[in-house]
Structure 1
Amino acid sequence: MSPNVGTIDRTLRAALGAVLLYLAFLSGLSLFATPLFQYGAAAIGLVMLATSAFKFCPLYSVLGLKTCKEC
C-alpha cells in the first residue's frame, strides 16, 4: 500500500468527510432523517476520512492514478 493521495486531495477528502458526517448526524435536515441518506452519507464520510488519514485510495490504485507528487 504505497501512498497515492496528495496533500490537496487529502485536505479536500477530510473536509468532505467531516461535512458529510455533520450532515448525517447533526444538521437536522429532513433529507437526512431517512436512514438511507443518513447512513449513506455517514459511510461515505467515513471512507473519505479514512482515505485521507491513510494517504491511500483503493480506487486510485485500480485506475492507476496518483495525486501525490513526492510518491
Structure 2
Amino acid sequence: MSRNEGTFDRTLRVIAGLALIALAATGTVGWWGYLGVVPLLTGIAGYCPLYTLLGINTCSRKR
C-alpha cells in the first residue's frame, strides 16, 4: 500500500474530517458528521482506496 495522496490533499482531508467530527459532537449536524472519520483516517494514512480504483495519484513522490 503506497501513498497516493499529496501533502495538500492530506491536509485538507484531516481538517475536513476533524471539522465534521466536531460539528457532530456539538450537535450542529446529525450523526452523519461522524463520517468525518473516513477523510481523517485516509488523510493520516496518505492512502485512499477510491483514488486507487480511479487511477488518481496526487502524491509528488514516484514509487
TM-score normalised by length of structure 2: 0.90
Partner SS, residue 47 of structure 2? coil
Q: What are the ranges of 5 or more consecutive residues in structure 2 without an aligned counterpart? A: none
Residues 48-70 of structure 1, C-alpha deviation per residue, up to 9 Å, x if partnerless?
11101111000000000000011
Residues 5-58 of structure 1, C-alpha deviation per residue, up to 9 Å, x if partnerless?
0000000000000000011012x32xx2xxxx32x2202x10111101111000
Query: Which residue of structure 2 aligns with residue 57 of structure 1?
Result: 48
Matched, 1:41 2:33: yes
Partner SS, residue 5 of structure 2? coil
**What amino acid maps onto 1:16 in structure 2?**
A
Query: Which residue of structure 2 aligns with residue 23 of structure 1?
Result: 23
Larger radius of gyration: 1
Q: After TM superposition, where is structure 1 displaced by more than 6 Å over at least 4 residues in a row? A: none
Q: How many residues align?
A: 62
**What amino acid maps onto 1:42 in structure 2?**
Y
**Alpha carbon RMSD of aligned pairs, Å?**
1.1
TM-score normalised by length of structure 1: 0.80
